[in-house]
Amino acid sequence: MKIVNNTQMKQLDRMTIERYGIPGVLLMENAGIAVFQEVVRHLQNLIGKKVAIVCGRGNNGGDGFVVARHLFQHKVEVKVFIAGNPAVIGGDAKTNFEILKLLEAPIEVLSPGEGRSDLSNQLKEYDLIVDAIFGIGLDRNIDAFIQDVIETINVSEKPVISIDIPSGVSAATGCICGTAVRAEKTVVFQLPKLGNINYPGSDYTGEILIKNIGIPQKVIDSINSEIQMITMDWVKKIIPKRKADTHKGDYGRVYIVAGSTGMTGAAMLTCEAVLRSGAGLVKVAIPQSLNNIMEIRLTEAITVPLPELKKGVVGISDIEKIMKTMSQSDAVAVGPGSGQSRELEEVLRNIFENSTTPIVLDADALNSLANRKELLKLLKSPAVLTPHPMEMSRLTQIAVEDIQKNRVEVAREFAQKWNVIIVLKGARTVVAAPSGETFINTTGNPGMATAGSGDVLTGIITGFIAQGIEPVQATAAAVYIHGLAGDKAAAELGEYGMMAGDIVTHLPCALKEIVGK
């Protein structure tokens, strides 16, 4: 599903009105009805319920006026609070405001120094607050008066439904324009906005409910948005159905270079995730002194013990054996728990120069590349890099704080510059392709912030690529399913007690939900 910014959404509205003759007041009516329906669902029983609608003076306020009218017509005790001078209300919003006045619906004007002092006490009487102060057009810090109104809503401890985006959140970036409404739900019109998805705005959005308001599909298709939200429906189209007459070779051979003294767990988690993601066969190349540990734990994987110059570390002397034993693989992963070493850099250089097999690079492989990014120019195959923000900082020399403020832009720029697929991990993981195509994921939870979670993701990505899924699509689908498995683990175990192995354990359930088998 496309993700748009405020400019693109305004373009959608304008094209709908000008090209297809659908009037703006009809779009506003559809938007208001969508929110009204969600209010009804939220309250369940309208009898005796009271709803406060806090409106601004623009189109978002106009949507709120429509909601108020429908509630009023359904005998719900509703009151509209207008933040600021209603004389400046214009256009379609004014049309709906005038209708409300003719219906004699309760309206109170809030203004600096008067009318707001008792808002806090009044809100205590209501069962629900609808936030209709600002929409997607906000591009500045809001003034002190409106900040006070928003903070009054936030401290009311009443459930809030925001219209399109919580007031105070920038639709273009997700940044907070001074302060913002904390919504329990946000009814989003037609397409999600970047501000609904990106943090910190996502923290204020609550549950996202995407509603069609009548913008023609032809208009949506015409908008050039390279940013997509990964959805279950999209992933279902990516994961191939299995045929009865098949064998393990049909589902891909994976080769993993991983593990070092004290870090065998990373290699194990990656291998288990590969197998749980549906790949047919996995080989793991491991320093010889660690081989017995791996064979005891990984009964389904083939181990490739590597000779050691330095105990417990993949060495330069291993390169010939690595290249030989990985030659028949469909996908390769390097780095989980490998340890940083000059030897690993040489392993990467040799693979890049001599292999055309798609490769996934994680953890210590990324750290090895941090000071030798020029090695990426040697790649002869698609490559997926899976950094967390600190690893991305090492790769880009950009501060973590600045990366987190510009996750999409940083990931896209690196992907295009170095011709690689970037998975910038974290809340709302970003997948960026060299083409500029970008995906944002919404599955997952804080319980996944645990050691080994990234190793599991590396295994799923590699397993999907080995099964013949195009690398960009395989990566985006893997990110979604990784988060979905984490959500299932959290639902069963809670977020505090989760371990990375729990994500692996719940992978089959996540995949079953996707493919149905």
| 92 assigned to a ligand binding site | no
Residues in the chain: 517
- Whether residue 177 is found in the same domain as residue 313: no
Question: What is the tens place of the pLDDT at every residue in 1-57?
Answer: 999 999 999 999 999 999 999 999 999 999 999 999 999 999 998 899 999 999 999
139 is in an annotated binding site: yes
Tokens 């900082």 sit at which residue? 393
Residue 1: inside a domain, yes or no? Answer: no
62 labelled binding-site residue = yes
Return the structure tokens found at 384: 């997926």
Same domain, 292 and 195: no
Last residue of a domain, one of 166, 200, 224: 224
pLDDT confidence of residue 114: 58
Is 249 a known ligand-binding residue? no
Is 137 flagged in the annotation as binding? yes
Q: What is the 3-state secondary structure (H, E, C) of 352-396?
A: HHHCCCCEEECCHHHHHHCCCHHHHHHCCCCEEECCCHHHHHHHH
Instruction: Report which of 222, 174, 208, 179 is spatially closest to residue 16, judged by C-alpha positions.
Output: 222
Please indicate, yes or no, whether residues 380 and 456 belong to a single structural domain of this protein.
yes
Residues 16 and 44 in one domain: yes
On whether both 142 and 249 belong to a single domain, the answer is no
Name the pLDDT band for 493 (thresholds 50, 70, 90): very high
Mean per-residue pLDDT, 208-231: 96
Contacts of 239 (CB under 8 A, 6+ apart): 464, 469, 477, 511, 514, 515
Q: Is residue 112 part of a domain?
A: yes
Residue 272 domain-assigned (yes or no): yes
Residues 341 and 214 in one domain: no
Which of the listed residues 205, 224, 243 is the one where a domain comes to its end? 224
Is 502 one of the annotated binding-site residues?
Answer: no
Dihedral angle over CA of 355, 336, 459, 395, nearest 10: -70
Residue numbers of the domain that contains 481: 233-515
Do the annotations mark residue 337 as ligand-binding? yes
Same domain, 279 and 207: no
ω into 358 cis (within 30 of 0):
no
Residue with tokens 């590396």: 458
Q: Which residues contact 47 (CB under 8 A, 6 or more apart)?
A: none
Are residue 245 and residue 217 in the same domain, yes or no?
no
In DSSP notation, 413-457 reads: HHHHHHT-EEEE-STT-EEE-TTS-EEE-----GGG-STTHHHHH
Give pLDDT tens digits for 286-319. 999 999 999 998 899 999 998 887 788 876 677 8
Evaluate if residue 188 carries a pLDDT over 50.
yes
Domain stop point among 197, 224, 251: 224
Domain identity same for 317 and 365 = yes
Kindly tell me the sign of the dihedral angle through the C-alpha atoms of 111, 115, 116, 119.
Answer: negative
What is the rounded CA–CA span in Å between residue 43 and residue 467?
Answer: 47
User: Would you say residue 275 has pLDDT above 50?
Assistant: yes
**Residues near 121 by beta carbon (within 8 Å), at least 6 away in sequence:** none
The Cα diameter of the chain in Å comes to 87
The reply, when asked if residue 266 is annotated as ligand binding, is yes
| Under 8 Å between Cβ of 108 and 81 | yes
Residue 411 near residue 437, CB atoms below 8 Å: no
Beta-carbon contacts of 310 under 8 Å, excluding residues fewer than 6 positions away, are 341, 343
β strands within 235-369, DSSP E: 253-257, 281-287, 302-306, 331-334, 359-361
Q: Is 61 annotated as belonging to a binding site?
A: yes
Known binder of ligand: residue 273? no
What pLDDT does residue 213 have? 98
| 161 lies in the same domain as 247 | no
281 located within any domain: yes
9-12 own/partner pairs: CB under 8 Å, 24+ apart: 9/136, 9/171, 9/189, 9/190, 9/191, 9/193, 10/136, 10/137, 11/223, 12/190, 12/191, 12/215, 12/219, 12/220, 12/223
Q: Tokens standing for 57?
A: 């003076």
407 known member of a binding site: no
Task: Answer yes or no: do 285 and 153 share one domain.
Answer: no
Confidence of residue 340 (pLDDT cuts 50, 70, 90): confident
- The model's pLDDT over 67-125, given as tens digits with 9 standing for 90+, comes to 999 999 999 999 999 999 999 999 999 999 999 999 999 999 998 875 456 899 999 99
Q: How many domains does the chain have?
A: 2
Domain containing 240 — which CATH number?
A: 3.40.1190.20
Structure tokens given for 456: 């599991």
4, 234, 387, 431, 474 from 410: Cα distances, Å: 18, 25, 12, 11, 21
One domain, residues 268 and 186: no
Is 454 known to sit in a ligand binding site? Answer: yes
pLDDT, one tens digit per residue, over 386-398 is 999 999 999 999 9
388 within a domain of the structure (yes/no): yes
Averaged pLDDT, 363-379: 95
CATH of residue 105's domain is 3.40.50.10260
Is 34 labelled a binding residue? no
Task: Return the pLDDT at 116.
Answer: 57
The verdict on whether residue 63 carries a ligand-binding annotation is yes
Please indicate if the annotation marks 127 as binding a ligand.
no
Whether 311 contacts 429, CB under 8 Å: no
Q: Is 419 annotated as a binding residue?
A: no
- What's residue 221's pLDDT? 95
Whole-number average pLDDT of the chain: 95
Provide CB contacts within 8 A for 366, sequence distance 6+: 335, 385, 386, 387, 391, 394, 395
Task: Please tell me whether 143 is known to bind a ligand.
Answer: no
